[in-house]
Structure 1
Amino acid sequence: MTNMAEDLKATHITDATPSPSGAPSAEDRRRTDRKRSPREAKKRTANMVIYGVLVVLVVALMVPFIWMLSSSLKENNQVLTVPIQWIPQEFVWSNYTDIWTRIPMMGYLQNSLYLAVIITCLQVLTGSLAAYGFSKVRFPGRDVLFLAYIGTIAVPWQAYMVPQYIMMQNLGLTNSFNALILLQAFGAFGVFLMRQYYMTIPDELCEAARIDGLSEYGIWARVILPLSKPALASLALLTFVNTWNDYMGPFIYLTSNRLWTVQLGLRSFVGQFDAEYAMIMTGSVISVIPILIIFLIGQRYFIQGIATSGMKG
């Protein structure tokens, strides 16, 4: 018994005494673990709450798309039933074949794609050039001019919609794609987005390029643009989606059916007394597919560009 008591005492002294190497003893480790456990539990709880809120938000955002997909596989009289039938009683797959014969869907998609690609390329070009001037070129009144230009974002389009139409009509550009291309080739938001990203690029790179003899256009093309792929992808994706989904612009300027975009084409399913909701939902699903493909291709650059564009003002 005496030997056992002495052994237990020696073990206790060994655990409570720091090791010669300075490492924490077993007692210190247990004390640290007891202090750390409540903090880790609170952190895990907070993470669970955040993830739960995010899951709820994602589900809320996906509900309209799920309803649209479900409605595209129903008959017209089943789309607006109460309560909602999330799973159709009978899948009407023929909607996805009939829509191509009911309206010139392929032509509408080609028109939308043409406008979206042309306007996206022009906005990326003009936005990146203007942003370079506002961020890397020093000239009198640069910041004041930039604030005035960005302030145009706050002006609603309805305020200058009629003057724009009169200008395009006097130029003879109505009922043509040229009116939409000219009006949307420049965008203040694109300049702001690119300028914020350019501000994160060190000015020393531009100074070194000037010393080497590069012109401002050469610096923009050979130094700035290769470093701006995330911001360029973000601007391209946002512009493409905005142009593809635009309804009011084509509605005002395009009167000929052969020039209609997919958004105007889907409007043709709305009759005087009734609307073919199943066909509208089918066309909407088809119109979402190109945007989904482009986003999946460029999502990595898009997220990176949005995350870094506001790091420096």
Structure 2
Amino acid sequence: MKENKVKFLFHAALVIFALIMLIPFVWMFLTSIKTYEEAIRIPLQMFPKEIQWVNYEIVYNKFPFLTLYWNTIVVTVVTIAGQLFIVSLAAYAFARLNFPFKNILFIGMLGLMMVPGQIFLIPQFRLMVQMKLTNTLTALVLPSLFSVFGVFLLRQAFQTIPKDLDEAARMDGCSYFRIYWQIMLPLVTPNLVALGIMTMLSTWKNLMWPIIVNRSIEKMTLSAGLAMLIGEHTTYYEQVMAGAVISVLPMIIVFMIFQKQFVEGIAKTGVKG
């Protein structure tokens, strides 16, 4: 009886926290169907008197949303594919191969996680300028093709796999790359999915870098395009929220589809050092 009561309280607490997490999304949607006066009213007005779907039409016509969507999808897909390949290769090397200064290099790489990412913005921008890649989608992809956290995550996953598999594959004549591609990667699929979802979220919502490196709205992503809805003197918050709803829907759908793999990938990541 006591155990059931504890379980009930635990689940009740989880439901309460989940509802609290949903409040910003509910407020975003409700604001997106309000009038301008209702959106800025003090005290706050929770529900609109009359639904204003026209806000979505205004935002859609104000910006080239299809182009922004396409840019965001292309940048996100290419970043995910490139990062998973490069990061998994590095993680496999650190976890399964022996080479000089391996541990020192890995510790030094982990030290980069303690450095704020904003410090690298100026060097990255100068590099894009020298390579003549500014105002291109390539400039949005290149800096995101490597992730120290991703290497750490997949290294831990690779280390949980028995060494006997490597030895058996080597005896059968497999190369290191074939072992990595045909044996190791399938065994860490949940971890790859988890890293892919996290990469997708960070790329989809990235705001600062697209604004810095690109000037034309035709080469921007959704987050950068929505930032232009913020006016210098007047901001139509109902339109900003309508644009936010349009941009966030794909991420919610993707997470709902792959949430099981995401949780499994995080849960199965070992802490073996």
| Global fold match (TM > 0.5) | yes
Partner SS state of residue 115, structure 1:
helix
Q: Which residue in 1 is equivalent to 2:90?
A: 130
Instruction: Find the partner of 2:233 among 262, 273, 289.
Output: 273
Q: Please, which moves more after superposition, 93-102 or 70-79?
A: 93-102
Aligned residue identity for 1:305: G
Q: Which residue in 2 is equivalent to 1:249?
A: 209
Q: Which runs of 5+ in 2 are unaligned?
A: none
Alpha-carbon distance in 1 for matches of 2:208, 2:54: 30
Alpha-carbon distance in 2 for matches of 1:52, 1:208: 50
**How many residues are matched?**
273
Alpha-carbon distance in 1 for matches of 2:54, 2:181: 50
Following superposition, the deviation at residue 97 of structure 1 comes to 2.4
Q: Which residue in 2 is equivalent to 1:289?
A: 249
Are 2:147 and 1:182 aligned? Answer: no
Alpha-carbon distance in 2 for matches of 1:308, 1:90: 48
Alpha-carbon distance in 2 for matches of 1:113, 1:234: 18
Q: 1:1-313 to 2 correspondence within 5 Å?
A: 40-41=1-2, 43-313=3-273
Following superposition, the deviation at residue 267 of structure 1 comes to 1.8
Following superposition, the deviation at residue 80 of structure 1 comes to 2.9
Q: Please, which moves more after superposition, 173-182 or 244-253?
A: 173-182
Q: Which runs of 5+ in 1 are unaligned?
A: 1-39
Deviation string, structure 1 residues 77-134 (Cα, Å, up to 9, x no partner): 2113234333211001122223221211111111111111111111101111111001
Partner SS state of residue 312, structure 1:
coil
Alpha-carbon distance in 2 for matches of 1:298, 1:287: 18
TM-score (norm 2): 0.95
Following superposition, the deviation at residue 197 of structure 1 comes to 0.9
Matched-pair contact (CA < 8 Å) for 2:159–2:270: no
Deviation string, structure 1 residues 263-295 (Cα, Å, up to 9, x no partner): 121122222210111111011011111111211
Following superposition, the deviation at residue 167 of structure 1 comes to 1.9
- Which structure: larger Rg? 1
Following superposition, the deviation at residue 311 of structure 1 comes to 4.3
Partner SS state of residue 66, structure 1:
helix
Following superposition, the deviation at residue 175 of structure 1 comes to 1.5
Percent identical: 36
Alpha-carbon distance in 1 for matches of 2:150, 2:53: 41
Deviation string, structure 1 residues 154-177 (Cα, Å, up to 9, x no partner): 111222221221222122121212
Alpha-carbon distance in 2 for matches of 1:251, 1:98: 23
Q: CA RMSD in A?
A: 1.4
Q: Please, which moves more after superposition, 248-257 or 172-181?
A: 172-181
